[in-house]
């Protein structure tokens, strides 16, 4: 009799233990921060995103056991997907965050959706992630090419820049950004005169800039990012392109780019951003904490997005006590997002996190009161206008 009791009790225990393991895999929530740690996007994502993820863990881990890993994907899709696969297979990583460089993000998307791993993207821009290649395990947090083109494209055309020539980074992101912006320009009565593609991580833009100059367009749209954008702007400056009457439109500019260029060169640029540190008390509080850990560097929108996404993910996982990719993301979709990054943000069925975007103008050196005081906010673009309407989504998860 005694024996059967023991047997039953231990079986029950085993079942319970088994059930508990099925909830939080391995008893630990492992967060993998995968981004560019050495190349042209290292400043805007890189170590800062790891710091932001750790801050979110400090604030929201609660009773969960959480671990943060990081790796460099070198902006190569094959490196990114093999790191992601190895993390998931060997380390038991439950969620992959950040992943700038659209081509790498698309490759990682394949891996995470195959393995039921959550993927919270802050750094990449292509809208393909929430359209043709959307996945139930995916959330696109910070911005995308559509939001950038709606903000900057519209503002520039309305300011009189109605003929455009594009300088485009030759990969998924650049092409998408150019296409989205061209659509906005044309919808607002502008005209696209031409475009030229340049390889990712270009150092010499002279031939591309000369083509842009020869086109006679009023606006040269830079459909690139990070080091490519700053290089293009610097070289355009030394060619005297702006002085001779053509306007540069950096379609994706981060505050680290402005910092790298200096206000002398960058002043007057119109940018669209998902976050500016000096917007309100909450954003300033976050930025100051961040800067303390990053030698005074202020967070980019990618860093802020990583914090916000990880915090929201941890809340959702704590709520359902399950770190399966689809389960966690489904739970995240039911909860509104209210923090320094987003007010009443919501995650749509296609994985797009909808929040307000800001149209900003870079200050002149005279206007700037101190280090990192770079932007004047011109307008707030409400989330529903900033992002592509759900009705137009080509995502298979959306019932259209």
Partner 1 sequence: MSGPTTQSADAPTRRLAGLLIAGAGLAVLVVAPFTGLYTVFLMKLMCFALFACAFNLMLGYVGLLSFGHAAFFGMAAYATGHVVKEWGFDPFLGILAGAAVAGAMGLVFGAIAIRQKGIYFAMITLALAQMVYFFCLQVKFTHGEDGIQGIPRGMLFGLVDLRDSLNMYFFVAAIFVVGYAIIYRTVHSPFGQALKGIRENEPRMISLGYPVARIKVMAFTISAALAGLAGATKSIVFQAATLTDVHWHMSGEVVLMTLIGGMGTMFGPVVGAGVIVALQNYLATIGSWVTVVMGVIFVVCVLTFRRGIVGEILARLPHRR
Residues of the shown chain interacting with partner 1 in the complex, contacts defined by CB under 8 A: 37-38, 71-72, 74, 76-79, 81-83, 85-86, 89-90, 102-103, 106-107, 110, 169-172, 199-200
Q: Is 81 exposed, middle or buried (0-12, 13-18, 19+ CB in 10 A)?
A: buried
Q: Choose between 92 and 320: whose C-beta lies nearer to partner 1.
A: 92
Angle between helices 172-187 and 102-114 (to 10 degrees): 110
Q: Choose between 56 and 107: whose C-beta lies nearer to partner 1.
A: 107
Q: How are beta strands 66-72 and 29-35 bridged, if at all?
A: parallel
Shortest Cβ 40–partner 1 spacing (Å): 13
* CA–CA dist 299, 255 (Å, integer): 8
Helices (H) and strands (E) in the chain, counts: 15, 14
Shortest Cβ 22–partner 1 spacing (Å): 22
- Rounded to 5 degrees, what are φ and ψ at 167? -110, 110
Residues 6+ apart with CB under 8 A from 89: none
The closest alpha carbon to 213, from 232, 188, 200, belongs to: 232
Residues 6+ apart with CB under 8 A from 340: 280, 282, 283, 285, 286, 304, 308
Q: Choose between 63 and 199: whose C-beta lies nearer to partner 1.
A: 199
DSSP 145-163: HHHHIIIIIHHHHHTT--E
Shortest Cβ 212–partner 1 spacing (Å): 20
Q: Choose between 171 and 307: whose C-beta lies nearer to partner 1.
A: 171
Shortest Cβ 247–partner 1 spacing (Å): 27
Q: Choose between 110 and 213: whose C-beta lies nearer to partner 1.
A: 110
Q: Choose between 105 and 347: whose C-beta lies nearer to partner 1.
A: 105
* CA–CA dist 180, 175 (Å, integer): 9
Shortest Cβ 113–partner 1 spacing (Å): 10
* CA–CA dist 206, 196 (Å, integer): 12
Q: Choose between 82 and 235: whose C-beta lies nearer to partner 1.
A: 82
Q: How far is CA 24 from the centre of its chain?
A: 27
Shortest Cβ 38–partner 1 spacing (Å): 5
* CA–CA dist 277, 298 (Å, integer): 7
* CA–CA dist 328, 331 (Å, integer): 5
Q: Choose between 133 and 270: whose C-beta lies nearer to partner 1.
A: 133
Shortest Cβ 260–partner 1 spacing (Å): 20
Q: Choose between 135 and 157: whose C-beta lies nearer to partner 1.
A: 135
Residues 6+ apart with CB under 8 A from 162: 185, 189, 190, 191, 218, 219
Shortest Cβ 170–partner 1 spacing (Å): 5
Q: Please report which helix (H) or strand (E) contains residue 184, including its range.
A: helix 172-187
Q: Choose between 54 and 218: whose C-beta lies nearer to partner 1.
A: 54
Q: How far is CA 137 from the centre of its chain?
A: 16
Asked if 124 contacts 142 with a C-beta cutoff of 8 angstroms, the reply is no
Shortest Cβ 193–partner 1 spacing (Å): 22
Shortest Cβ 39–partner 1 spacing (Å): 9
């Amino acid at each position: 009799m005694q024996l059967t009791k023991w047997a039953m009790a231990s079986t029950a225990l085993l079942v319970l233990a088994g059930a508990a393991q099925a909830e939080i895999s391995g008893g630990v929530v492992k967060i993998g921060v995968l981004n560019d740690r050495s190349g042209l996007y290292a400043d805007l994502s890189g170590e800062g995103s790891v710091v932001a993820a750790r801050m979110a863990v400090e604030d929201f881990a609660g009773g969960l056991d959480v671990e943060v890993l990081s790796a460099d994907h070198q902006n190569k899709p094959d490196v990114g997907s093999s790191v992601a696969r190895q993390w998931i297979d060997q380390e038991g990583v439950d969620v992959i965050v950040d992943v700038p460089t659209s081509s790498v993000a698309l490759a990682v998307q394949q891996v995470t959706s195959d393995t039921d791993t959550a993927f919270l993207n802050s750094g990449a821009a292509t809208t393909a992630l929430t359209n043709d290649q959307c996945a139930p395990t995916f959330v696109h947090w910070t911005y995308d090419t559509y939001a950038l083109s709606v903000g900057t494209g519209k503002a520039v055309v309305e300011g009189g820049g109605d003929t455009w020539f594009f300088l485009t980074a030759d990969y998924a992101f650049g092409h998408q950004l150019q296409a989205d912006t061209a659509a906005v320009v044309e919808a607002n009565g502008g005209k696209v005169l031409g475009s030229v593609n340049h390889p990712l991580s270009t150092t010499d833009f002279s031939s591309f800039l000369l083509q842009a100059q020869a086109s006679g367009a009023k606006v040269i749209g830079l459909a690139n990012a990070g080091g490519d954008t700053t290089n293009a702007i610097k070289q355009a400056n030394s060619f005297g392109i702006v002085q001779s009457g053509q306007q540069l439109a950096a379609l994706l500019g981060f505050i680290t780019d402005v910092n790298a260029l200096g206000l002398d060169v960058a002043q007057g640029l119109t940018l669209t951003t998902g976050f500016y540190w000096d917007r309100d008390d909450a954003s300033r509080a976050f930025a100051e904490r961040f800067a303390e850990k990053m030698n005074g560097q202020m967070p980019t929108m990618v860093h802020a997005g990583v914090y916000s996404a990880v915090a929201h993910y941890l809340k959702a996982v704590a709520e359902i006590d399950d770190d399966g990719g689809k389960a966690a993301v489904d739970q995240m979709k039911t909860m509104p997002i209210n923090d320094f990054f987003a007010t009443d943000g919501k995650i749509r069925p296609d994985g797009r996190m909808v929040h307000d975007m800001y149209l900003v103008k870079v200050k002149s050196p005279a206007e700037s009161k101190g280090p990192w005081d770079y932007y004047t906010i011109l307008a707030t673009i409400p989330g529903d206008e900033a992002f592509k309407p759900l009705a137009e989504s080509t995502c298979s998860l959306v019932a259209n």
